Every structure is written in structure tokens, then in C-alpha cells.
Amino acid sequence: MKKNRHGADLYALERRYKWKPEEVLDFSSNINPLGPSPRALEVPAKNAGAAARYPDPEYRKLKAAISRYANVAPQHILLGSGTSQLIQEYIAYIHPARALLNSPCYSEYGKELEKVGAKIVEFPLDYHENFMLDVDRIIETIRREEIDLYVLTNPNNPTGTVLTRVEIQRILDETGVRMLVDETYIEFTDRGVYSVCALAAGRDDLFVVRGTSKFFATPGIRLGYGITADGAAVEALSEKLSLWGINIYADLMGREMFSDEAYKAKTYHLIQSEKERMCARLEAIDALKVFPSYGNFVLVKIQDRSHTAAELREALLEKKMVIRDCSSFRNLDERFFRFCILKEAANEMLVTEIEAFFQK
């Protein structure tokens, strides 16, 4: 079975080109360029002996840290080995007959829905409208298609479009649908406007998942959490999830990273300022259409037929830079690519190489 790839396979590049992973500028994986929270990084060295004991099976201190961070009560929190496990288990639990997905979106939702035999209805996002999400049309589609579950990434990957908390509440209130909202990239936005964690803590028709892979730059520790007021779902999923499914270093590091205010503020401001600067440069290239994004990544279309995203990717790969060729996403073609925001020097290198590529 072919595995889903989350951005560049740095290990494959290492085998193919004999490069070390740290030599590659990875603009494809959407990971915070600052790396993990400095406070969280101190945890393993200071707690080396923790490897000799089991984690707390209830993860009380970790849940308390998430509770403070997300402003929800601990009893509404579920822990998982990354968001992928929580998405898989929730879809299996709901077992929807008919599900709605935005198109394009993250491919794993469709795979999990297919496993339970759900009929997948696609809601096409139009690049002529900057892939914006039309709430009236979404509500009309849910009603017409008798949708049981609407799966939404907010902001959406790869388009970077987003719905506000008010808009999501309206969809729930006016349709009676269940929603699974993946907030993997929510920390790169204004959480007060767009996050629905607090809403989920008061409703049984909403399940929110978040992880630490992207904003907190810790994909290696596999830490995710879900939030819902659906007590039956919490109980059922808790039975499915492993007793010690979160390793002790993920537990300890999580307690620190969520409260590292300086790190969170620095990340947010870096991404916003660099995204604005990079987009302004790329928008000056006639061959490119740059789409507005609320994530730490930007989707771009090559407007003419002179080049493909694959050709651009190969040219950049020669410079040890990796972007995402988006031709594998539904509703996109061979002219779409995506890049994420890294540090200023790396971003400057990428923009300069893209400018040079389209000047040839």
C-alpha cells in the first residue's frame, strides 16, 4: 500500500542525493522554521531518567496544560498519537453514511471515510474565487445531500482559506450536521476569531483536533489532542486509544510548549511578516497567481503553460530546496505548487530562485 507523504521525504532525498536532511531547505512540510519551543527542548535532557517509568495513564498534568492553553475543561480533552489517530478513530466511531469534504483538501480524510464505506460528496473550491469558502453554499449542499459529517481543515490545506468561529457555528445551527474540524494550522491565525475549541467544549455535534507537528515543530513526538462535549464519543474513543499511547517525553514536552508565550509570539510574527514579504515579491511575477492564505503556507498557480510545478520543483531541488507539487490534490492540476514560510534567509533564497526560473 502506498503511504501518504506529508511534504518532502527527506530520507529518500538522503538516499538519492547523499544529502543530510539538515542540508535541505524543506518548504513542503509546513513546519515552524524556529524549531521546537526552547523550553520544551530542555525537557529530555533534564528528565533522562523518565524513560525508566511509565507515563501517568490519565495524563493529568498534560491535560491541565492543554486545558489552560485551549481554554476548555480537561474532561473534554482526548489525547492521541498525532491528529491522524484521532481523525481515524472519530470517523470510525461516527461511521457516517454521507460525508462532505472540501476539494481540494488533505487526502487522509477521504481515505478514512472510504474505510467505513461513506459516500463522499465534494464541495469544489473555485480558484477564480481564491478558493474562498461560501457558507451559504455549504449549508445548501449539506441540506441537499443529507450530509452526516462535514470534515473541515481550518485553515484549509493546501488553499489556506478559513472559516470564522461564527460561520462554523452557523453551519452547525442551521443544518444539524456533525463537524470534524482539523485545527492543525489554527495557531498561525487569530485563534480568537477562527478557533472553535471553546465552542466544541459546549456541543456534542463538534469534534476539534489539533496537533503539535506544525506550529510547535514536533512531528517526531506524535502528540495530538481532540476536544468535544460529546461524552459518549469521549468514552468510546478512550476505549479505542492506547493506555499509554503518548510517550513520556511527549507528555513532558507538551506541558512546557503550550505555555511558552515568547516562543508562540515570535513564531506568529515571523510567519506573518515573512509571508507578506514573500507574497509581494511573487505577485510581481506575471506568470504566477498567488492565493491569499491564513496558514503558514501559500498556494500558487503558474498561469501560463510554459512550465509545470514539477519542472519548478526539479529546478529548485538542484539548489537543495523542496516545494510541494500540488498536482496530486483533487481539483488542482500540474500548474499548482505550495511552499511554507521558513526563516528570512531561506525565504529570500527561494523567492530569488523562483524569480530567476520564470525569467529564463
The domain that holds 345 is classified in CATH as 3.90.1150.10
Q: Which one, of 195, 194, 210, 201, lies nearest residue 228 by Cα?
A: 201
Pairing relationship of beta strands 224-227 and 77-80 according to DSSP bridges? antiparallel
Give one DSSP letter per residue of 206-232, joined into a string.
Answer: EEEEEESSSTT--GGG--EEEE-S-HH
pLDDT on residue 244: 85
Of the three residues 207, 230, 259, the one that is the final residue of a domain is 259
Q: Assess contact for 121 and 142: CB atoms under 8 A.
A: no
Residue 30 gets which letter from DSSP?
A: -
Distance, CA of 203 to CA of 207 (rounded, Å): 9
- Closest C-alpha to 195, from 247, 230, 148, 154: 154
Q: What is the dihedral of CA 289, 293, 297, 300, to 10 degrees?
A: -10
pLDDT of residue 124: 97
The verdict on 141 and 187 lying in the same domain is yes
169/175 Cα distance (integer angstroms): 10
HSE-CB for 254 with a 13 A CA cutoff: 34
Q: Do 180 and 110 belong to one domain?
A: yes
C-alpha to C-alpha distance for 313 and 321, rounded to whole angstroms: 8
At position 321, the amino acid (one-letter code) is M
Grid coordinates representing 83 are 491528529
How long, in residues, is the chain?
360
Q: Write the CA distances from 359 to 106, 322, 351, 352, integer angstroms.
A: 32, 20, 12, 11
In angstroms, the CA 125 to CA 122 distance is 9
Judge whether 57 lies within some domain. Answer: yes
Note the pLDDT of residue 12. Answer: 75
Q: Which residues pair with 227 in a beta bridge?
A: 77, 208
The boundaries of the domain holding residue 56 are 38-259
Q: Report the alpha-carbon distance of residue 149 to residue 146 in Å, rounded.
A: 9
* Same-domain check for residues 320 and 252: no
| Rounded Cα gap, residues 85 and 51, in angstroms | 23
- 160 with 180, same domain? yes
- Count of domains forming the chain: 2
Last residue of a domain, one of 259, 283, 314: 259
Residue with C-alpha cell 547523499? 18
The one-letter amino acid at 351? V
Phi, psi of 298 (to 5 degrees): -135, 135
Amino acid at 312: L
Residue 5 maps to a domain? no
Whether residue 323 contacts residue 6, with contact meaning beta carbons closer than 8 Å, is answered with no
The DSSP output letter for 182 is E
Q: Is the dihedral of CA 180, 271, 30, 303 positive or negative?
A: positive
The per-residue pLDDT for 273 is: 98
What CATH number does residue 125 fall under? 3.40.640.10
Shared-domain flag, residues 25 and 59 = no
pTM, full prediction: 0.95
Residues 142 and 80 in one domain: yes
The percent of the chain in helix, strand and coil, each rounded to the nearest 5, is: 45, 15, 35
Question: What does each of the 360 residues of the chain score in pLDDT, given as a tens digit?
Answer: 334 455 567 667 767 777 777 888 999 999 999 999 999 999 999 999 999 999 999 999 999 999 999 999 999 999 999 999 999 999 999 999 999 999 999 999 999 999 999 999 999 999 999 999 999 999 999 999 999 999 999 999 999 999 999 999 999 999 999 999 999 999 999 999 999 999 999 999 999 999 999 999 999 999 999 999 999 999 999 998 887 899 999 999 999 999 999 999 999 999 999 999 999 999 999 999 999 999 999 999 999 888 999 999 999 999 999 999 999 999 999 999 999 999 999 999 999 999 999 997
Please report, for residues 49, 112, 237, 282, the alpha-carbon distance to residue 85 in angstroms, rounded to integers and kept in the order given: 28, 10, 10, 37
